[in-house]
Structure 1
Amino acid sequence: MCDALVWSFDVLTSIQWLELIKAVAPVATAIIAFLALRNWRRQDKAKREAEFLDSLIEATHDYVAEIPTPITLLEIARIGMASHASGESSDAAVFGAVTFIRQQGGDHAQRMLAALAATKSSMIKLRSLATKGQVFAFDDYANCMNAVAMLTWQYDRTEAFTALIGSSSLNWEHPEILRRLVDVMAIEPDEMRTCVRDNNIALIKFASDTYKLIYG
Structure 2
Amino acid sequence: MIASLRGTVISVGIATAVIEVGGVGMLIHATPTTLAKLRVGSEASLFTSLVVKEDSLTLFGFADDDERAVFETLNTVSGIGPRTALTILSVHTPDALRLAIQNKNESALTQVSGIGKKGAQRMILEIGDKLGPAHGAVQASAPSSGASPDILEALVNLGWQEREATSAISEARESNPDATVAQLLRSSLQILGSRR
**Which of the five TM-score ranges fits, normalised by the shorter chain?**
under 0.3
TM-score, with length taken from structure 1? 0.21
More helix by share: 1
* Structure whose alpha-carbon radius of gyration is higher: 1
More strand by share: 2
